[in-house]
């Protein structure tokens, strides 16, 4: 009887462990990513998620559709702050850093030396300031959803911040 009891108890332990090991795959990601390096021009984002970055010289206009929620933008280093209304603020200066995490934000960054990372869902537009006539040949690079980096477009180019489709 004892010889049958030990294998039976081992079987009772193995079955639940096997069931836990074969859980379903995690759901697909719904957030997209945007990365911008050394940008010169205008970048607009209307997204829910996380936006962080900095610029060497320029301005950022932030609109918070719900300014009374727990998600507040944080901007450091601005030398001039203009409050357009209760939802929109413009920050200008040199070496400005910004962070918008968790909520829904509209941000427009204009300037040079722009570094930006965004993770979330939404829409945006890029417009590089490259102009051969003015001697500006390099206006930065950008990558959407871990694609290879390529030069910022010279004309306003819309994009969708969302997870890429199946490959």
pLDDT string in tens for the chain (167-residue length): 556 555 555 555 555 555 555 555 455 568 899 999 999 999 999 999 999 999 999 999 999 998 888 889 999 999 999 999 999 999 999 999 999 998 899 999 999 999 999 999 999 999 988 766 666 678 899 999 989 999 999 889 999 998 877 65
Instruction: Retrieve residue 20's tokens.
Output: 């836990």
Write the Ramachandran bin of 97: left for phi over 0, alpha for psi from -120 to 50, otherwise beta. Answer: beta
Q: What is the pLDDT of residues 100-132, one digit of tens each?
A: 998 899 999 999 999 999 999 999 999 988 766
CA distance 113 to 26: 38
Q: What is the pLDDT of residue 55?
A: 97
Query: C-alpha distances in angstroms, 44 versus 6, 126, 159?
Result: 67, 7, 10
How much is the pTM? Answer: 0.78
CA distance 127 to 50: 21
Q: What is the pLDDT of residue 15?
A: 53
CB contact at 8 A, 32 and 45: no
Map out the domains of the chain as residue ranges. 30-131+138-144+154-161
Q: What is the CA radius of gyration of the chain?
A: 24
Q: What is the pLDDT of residue 30?
A: 80
CA distance 86 to 16: 56
Q: What is the pLDDT of residue 19?
A: 53
Give φ, ψ of 77 to 5 degrees. Answer: 95, 5
């Amino acid at each position: 009887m004892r010889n049958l009891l030990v294998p039976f108890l081992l079987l009772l332990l193995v079955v639940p462990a096997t069931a836990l090991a074969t859980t379903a795959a995690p759901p697909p990601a719904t957030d997209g990513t945007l990365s911008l390096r050394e940008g010169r021009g205008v970048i607009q984002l209307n997204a829910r998620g996380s936006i962080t970055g900095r610029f060497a010289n320029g301005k950022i206009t932030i609109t918070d559709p719900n300014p009374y929620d727990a998600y507040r933008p944080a901007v450091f280093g601005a030398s001039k702050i203009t409050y357009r209304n209760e939802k929109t603020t413009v920050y200008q200066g040199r070496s400005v850093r910004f962070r918008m995490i968790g909520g829904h934000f509209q941000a427009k960054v204009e300037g040079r030396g722009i570094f930006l990372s965004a993770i979330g869902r939404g829409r945006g537009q890029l417009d590089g300031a490259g102009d051969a006539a003015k001697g500006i040949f390099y206006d930065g690079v950008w990558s959407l959803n871990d694609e290879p980096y390529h030069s910022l477009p010279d004309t306003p180019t819309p994009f969708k911040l969302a997870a890429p489709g199946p490959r």
